[in-house]
């Protein structure tokens, strides 16, 4: 695990040098993936790394875990509460949509706006310090497209992209991430009671096994393949039109 940590830290430093920027910023949620990224960017840039905690009607336990993570790795911390901003923006948009409002999609639209407000906040902080924005997506989330396009997927670097969820957990143990964070259930915290595995209809263990080339039950394989296919657009640049077409 030490070699993997060193490889990522070296790569992070190289990306900052290549981009002529000065450091790195990440949003820390109290979950596993962002905890690992916070530890890694603090290792790469002890004095030029920032963790931003951005509650939006968030569970106080998660926010306490986020603080615990920052304290454990000693990274510079900022808290920017986006609850009232999210409420104002979402209600203004819904007011305009009026009778067109689609109740089935309302929760998802509300949730994706949270992820995109966090992205905008991170880029505002990044611009101020001349830093890059670091994403937290792991191999399982990236493959299944389980992220918000231009939300938590709107980042400059993806250091965990080649690690399964289990490998992220092992790295967290190696780095000294608090055990409450390592043991909790993965959640996007985009609505009350949300857990990744309930929403996806499969588990990270299944996705990890599939990505490692191991056989899994056909119903899980089908869910994973469908998610991958439907989210292809998220892993590509916007579809361009050329007059030469």
Contact between residue 11 and residue 159 where contact means Cβ atoms under 8 Å apart: yes
Helical packing angle, 83-97 and 103-129, nearest 10°: 130
> Closest approach of Cβ 132 to ligand DND, in Å?
20
Q: Rule CB under 6 A: which residues touch ligand DND?
A: 108, 111-112, 115, 141, 146-149, 151-152, 188, 190, 196, 199, 233-234
Q: Based on CB atoms, which residue is closest to Mg ion, 29 or 148?
A: 29
136 binds, among Mg ion, ligand DND, ligand ATP, none (CB under 5 to 8 A by kind): ligand ATP
Answer yes or no whether residue 31 interacts with Mg ion by CB under 5 A.
Answer: yes
Q: Phi first, then psi: what are they for 239, rounded to 5°?
A: -65, 115
Site of interaction with ligand ATP (CB under 6 A): 26-29, 31-34, 52-55, 58, 118, 136, 152, 186-189, 196
Beta bridge partners of 51: 26, 77
CB of 236 to ligand DND, least distance (A): 8
**Shortest spacing between CB 168 and ligand ATP, in angstroms:** 8
The C-alpha R_g of the chain, in whole angstroms, comes to 18
Q: Of the two residues 28 and 113, which places its CB atom closer to ligand ATP in the complex?
A: 28
Neighbours of 244 (CB within 10 A): 4
154 binds Mg ion (CB under 5 A): no
If we measure between CA atoms, which residue out of 162, 156, 166 comes closest to residue 133?
Answer: 156
Contact 220, 210 (CB under 8 A): yes
Kindly tell me which of 159 and 186 has the beta carbon lying closer to ligand ATP. Answer: 186
Indicate the helix (H) or strand (E) that contains 24. strand 23-27
Q: How many residues bind Mg ion (CB under 5 A)?
A: 3
């Amino acid at each position: 695990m030490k070699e993997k940590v060193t490889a990522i830290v070296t790569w992070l430093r190289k990306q900052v040098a290549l981009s002529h920027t000065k450091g790195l910023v990440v949003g820390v949620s109290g979950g596993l993936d962002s905890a690992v990224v916070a530890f890694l960017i603090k290792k790469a840039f002890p004095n030029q790394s920032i963790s931003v905690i951005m509650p939006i009607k968030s569970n106080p336990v998660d926010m306490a875990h986020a603080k615990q993570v920052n304290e454990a790795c000693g990274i510079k911390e900022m808290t920017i509460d986006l609850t009232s901003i999210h409420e104002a923006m979402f209600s203004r948009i819904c007011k305009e949509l009026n009778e067109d409002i689609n109740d089935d999609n309302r929760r998802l639209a509300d949730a994706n706006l949270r992820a995109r407000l966090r992205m905008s906040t991170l880029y505002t902080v990044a611009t101020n310090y001349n830093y890059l924005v670091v994403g937290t997506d792991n191999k399982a989330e990236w493959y299944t497209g389980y992220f918000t396009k231009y939300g938590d997927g709107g980042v400059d670097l993806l250091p965990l992209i080649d690690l399964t969820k289990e490998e992220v957990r092992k790295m967290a143990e190696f780095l000294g991430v608090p055990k409450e964070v390592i043991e909790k259930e993965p959640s996007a915290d985009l609505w009350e009671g949300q857990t990744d595995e309930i929403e996806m209809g499969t588990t990270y263990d299944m996705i990890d096994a599939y990505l490692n080339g191991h056989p899994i039950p056909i119903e899980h394989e089908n869910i994973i393949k469908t998610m991958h296919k439907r989210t292809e657009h998220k892993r590509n640049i916007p579809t361009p039109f050329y007059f030469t077409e």
